[in-house]
Every structure is written in C-alpha cells, then in structure tokens.
Structure 1
Amino acid sequence: MSEALSPAEKAKLAAAKKKEAAKKAAPESKPYVDNGDGTVTDPNTGYMWKKTDAWLDMKKFYTWQDHCQYVDWVNSNKDKFGGYDNWRIPTKAEALTLFDKTGTKSLVDKNGTSYPIDSIFAPGGASNTWISECSDEKIIRMDLKIGVDTPYPTTEVWSSMRLIRKEGEAPPAKAGGAEPEPVAEKAKPTEAPVEEAKAAPAATPAAPKASGGTPKPIPRKDFSSEERAAMLKRARAHAAEVRARKG
C-alpha cells in the first residue's frame, strides 16, 4: 500500500490537474461584430443575426400561425437589413448561442429587465423568440431569460422573434406560396350593332285608379256657356238656402 501524499505533493497534483483542465477548456469566445447595417455577426459560429427583434420593428407580438408575416416583411425589405433576403427564425441550438452562460453579458428588454444576451443587440426588445422546432401541433417558445424552450398546450401564445441567416442559405418560402403568374386580360366580345328604334307614338294616359282598384271618373272640362251659367245659378241658390237655414 502506497504512503499517503504529503501536503506539498497534494498541492502539486492539484496544480497539474488544473493545468490539464485549462488545456481542455474551450478557447475564449470572440466578441460579436456590429456590421453597421442592422445586422450582427457571431464570429464563433458564423451566424448573422438581425440587430432588432420583431417587437422593436413592429411593436407587436405574433402567434406561431402568424409568425411568417414578420419573416416575409423582413425579407421583402432586405435593403433595411444588410441587403439579405434569407432571414428565418432560429433553431433551438442556434437560439441558445445567444444565451450567455458566463453571467457577463446583459441586455435590457422592453420592460426594463436585464437578460443574458450580448448588449451589442438593440435594447428594448423582447426576451423570447419562436424557434423552428415549433409547429401547429406543438407550440414551443424559447425564453432567452433562462435559456429554456417551453412547450404550451394552446395556440393562444404570442412571442417576438430574433431572425438569423447563414451564408449560402436559400430564402425561405413565403407564407402565401409562390407569387401567382399575371393573368392575361381577356378580349371583350364584339357587340353586334343595334338598330335605332323608331319613335313610338305617345301612349294615352290611363285613367287614375282609386285605392280599391276601381277607376276614378274623369271630370269634364268641355262645358258650354249655357251649362256654366246654369251651374252658377244652382250654386248661388244653394248658398242662399244655406244662409236662410242658419237664420
């Protein structure tokens, strides 16, 4: 049985183990690069990220079913974001590269709360993002405050988005599919010439009808002078009779 190590030997062995562990440790991460065109490059992975998220761009959150609206908008306005049109949502693994495990990086979100991603990104955004592992059947959202992807039992979930791109990737398909081909305008059928209708004689107006459907009598207007004098005489006699009765 070997003798117990002396304190000096223990210290020497511990130092050797520490040195060996340092050799196996990952190399120090290179800092993110602000490209000055609305994009940020991670030199450690080669990923390029949008500097702003969906909340900062649109001041709204998106359901999973609607998330392509934002992706399509970004790719349709590529001049604003580095001139690229192949932006997409990240995978879980890609999103986790944003999450700082060293505790040295911090960014302020829209609520004034700090969360651990690099401050090279624009402040005031949201601390969550949709990831490509999500689907209509399985709603999953990445929480960048704690570096955890959370499943939800409902589709009534909203999130922001941080978009990523890689050199050489094809642009994602638009939500509405390919643009439809322009439809050629159909020629209008030639109309046959129509002969001018001859003017028809004016129809004799029909006698007005009473509300019950029986025609009203048409008053005469062709009285003779003798008939007019007789009617006036009868009217005066009737008026005198009425005055006499009232006495």
Structure 2
Amino acid sequence: MKFTLFLFTLFCSLAYSITAYANCTNQGIGLVITKPDDIYTNNGDATVSDTNTGLMWQVCPLGLSGADCATGTLQTLTWPAALAGAVADTSSGYTDWRLPNKNELISLVDYACTSPAINDSVFPATIPTPLLSLLNDGIFPAITPVPGGGGYWSSTPVIDNSGNALIWAVDFVNGFTIQASKDNNISGYVRLVRGFELLDPTLPAPPPL
C-alpha cells in the first residue's frame, strides 16, 4: 500500500513538472515556474484575466491577433505613440485600455523562463520570432539594453535627478527592468491592460469593471 502511494505521489509530481514545463519555452534547470496556466482565465475574447492581481490583459502584443497571435505584425512604437495607441484602443469592446505601469509588467514575468520570460502558452509571440530562434539556437546577438530586444513600455517614469526623460520598460527576453528615453525615437513593444492600477506587484488589484 505504501509503495503504491509512493508511485502515485511520484506520478503526480512528474505530471505537475511536465505541465509546468509546458508553460515555458526555456525553463532554467532547478527553477520553479511561478506563473502557471491555472492563475490565468482566458475570457474567450482575446483577453486573459490574472486571478492573482485582478488585472485583465490583451493576450497578444499590439499588432498581432488570432489564437496564437500569429496574424499581423508585431509593432514597435515610441513611448508617446504607445500612450496614444492605448487611449485609442477599443479591442474586445473595452474603451479603458491603458499602458501598464512597471509593477504590472513585472507581475507577468516568470524568472524561471527565458526567451521569453513569461508564460508563453498564455501570452504567445511576446518576443519577435527571429530573436527567439537565434536564442534557442545558442546564438546570442548583441541586445542593446533598451526596448527592442524584448522590451515592453510601461507608463512609469524613472525618478532621478539627472533631468533625463526616462521611462521604465521590462525586457521579456530575460525579465529585466530597463530604462529608456521617451524622447529620442526609441521603440518598444506594447501589451495593454485594464483594471485598477497595481502599485505593488505582490498585492492583488481590484477586478476590472
């Protein structure tokens, strides 16, 4: 009986590991996935709700659509254009889409994963396919630490005394936060969110209205 119970427990553990691994294109050895499928609810309208934070996200980055985000072209925008695009967006019948803040973007990062550092069964096509292929093949191009490699704009300004007009972004190649100028035509990717702003990534936000 004990041996049977041991085998059952072992099977469940292996099944969980396989399921968790499926959420991640490149899972680090010994690292535990923190953003499994079951924390997300697919709403069936190209949006997904995060049950941990209460936020609703567009499944696809701006410019892409379809079940696997395979239709269209992944767009890069300057920060002012990203803000304007969020205001004008009426996807899935909602008119309150906005650019996520830094903490909200960080809440999507799974540091057990790389290239992309996100659950890519829930959020496919987060980083451009050519870059993904190069990284998977072990060829590491020189990625400038500004939006463009896998950098997604946030709405959060960098607070410092330098006088530079800098904005926080999150690079979903590795999950790192980066700083980029909003005034010199640097382009980044965009994934829109709706719901009350999440000020602390460890705390849930109220659900979207």
1:117 counterpart letter in structure 2: I
Local SS of the residue matching 2:155: coil
In 2 relative to 1, CA 156–52 (structure 1 residues): closer, same or farther, beyond 3 Å?
same
Q: Structure 1, unaligned stretches of length 5 or more? A: 1-26, 107-113, 172-247
Q: Distance in 1 between matches of 2:51 and 2:154?
A: 21
Q: Distance in 2 between matches of 1:28 and 1:66?
A: 30
Q: What is the aligned partner in structure 2 of residue 132 from structure 1?
A: 155
Q: What is the aligned partner in structure 1 of residue 100 from structure 2?
A: 90
Aligned ranges 1:92-241 → 2 under 5 Å: 92-103=102-113, 114-118=115-119, 119-123=121-125, 126=128, 127-134=150-157, 137-152=165-180, 155-166=184-195
Q: What is the aligned partner in structure 1 of residue 19 from structure 2?
A: none
Deviation at 1:53, TM superposition (A): 1.0
Which one of 36, 57, 62 corresponds to residue 44 of structure 2?
A: 36
Deviation at 1:149, TM superposition (A): 2.1
TM-score, normalising length from structure 1?
A: 0.45
Q: Which is strand-richer, 1 or 2?
A: 2
Q: Structure 2, unaligned stretches of length 5 or more? A: 1-33, 66-71, 129-149, 159-163, 197-205
Say if 1:56 and 1:124, in contact at 8 Å, map to a contact too: no
In 2 relative to 1, CA 49–146 (structure 1 residues): closer, same or farther, beyond 3 Å?
same
TM-score, normalising length from structure 2?
A: 0.53
Local SS of the residue matching 1:130: strand
Deviation at 1:133, TM superposition (A): 1.1
Which one of 49, 54, 79 corresponds to residue 46 of structure 1?
A: 54
Say if 1:50 and 1:163, in contact at 8 Å, map to a contact too: yes
Local SS of the residue matching 1:54: coil
Q: What is the aligned partner in structure 2 of residue 200 from structure 1?
A: none
Q: What is the aligned partner in structure 1 of residue 26 from structure 2?
A: none
Local SS of the residue matching 1:131: strand
- The alignment covers a number of residue pairs equal to 131
Q: How large is the RMSD of aligned CA atoms in angstroms? A: 3.2
Deviation at 1:96, TM superposition (A): 0.7
Runs of 4+ in 1 over 4 A off after TM superposition: 27-30, 167-171
Deviation at 1:28, TM superposition (A): 9.2
1:120 counterpart letter in structure 2: V
* Highest RCO, 1 vs 2 (Cα 8 Å, sep ≥ 6): 2
Deviation at 1:156, TM superposition (A): 2.3
CA deviation string 1:127-165 (max 9, x = no partner): 321101137821332212222221235622101111111
